[in-house]
Amino acid sequence: MSYEHIDAARMTVLARELAGDHLACLRFIDDFLRAWEQRRTRVLHAVDASGPIDDALAALLTLATSSAMVGADTLSTVARELHSEARSLGSVPSRGADRLARIGAASCEELQHAAQSWRLAS
């Protein structure tokens, strides 16, 4: 199956990087999915200078890195771009946070589907 926001083949690469441990790879993906909402919320708290920017910047960095690891490349790019913009502005622009939320939700949905398919195939 083809996905718009993720590269499902990246799950195989991640499993190889984890010494071929498919269960560890699936746990990593599950942890990523569970952490999504908290990371998104941390970013939203800094929209238009309404909250601390440092926490949002940290959330964006971890999101950029971990999403790349699970193959959510679009989300990784958006998080990196938003991190750079927020750092320059001193706050998270609402349009960037909205874009991050949309792409993040779509990426998580696709990751859930891909992980479930992978579980069934194993």
pLDDT of residue 74: 96
Does 4 reside within a domain? no
pLDDT of residue 14: 92
pLDDT of residue 1: 80
Residues in the chain where the model's pLDDT stays below 50: none
Q: pLDDT for 87-110, tens place per residue?
A: 999 999 999 999 999 999 999 999
Does 2 reside within a domain? no
pLDDT of residue 52: 78
pLDDT of residue 76: 98
- Phi first, then psi, for residue 91 (nearest 5°) are -160, 165
Does 106 reside within a domain? yes
What is the total count of domains within the chain?
1
pLDDT of residue 64: 98
Please say whether the dihedral angle defined by the alpha carbons of residues 18, 24, 30 and 32, taken in this order, is positive or negative.
negative
pLDDT of residue 7: 96
Under a CB-based contact definition with an 8 Å cutoff, are residues 56 and 86 in contact?
yes
Does 16 reside within a domain? yes
What is the C-alpha separation between 122 and 109, in angstroms, rounded?
20
Q: Which domain holds residue 95?
A: 9-121
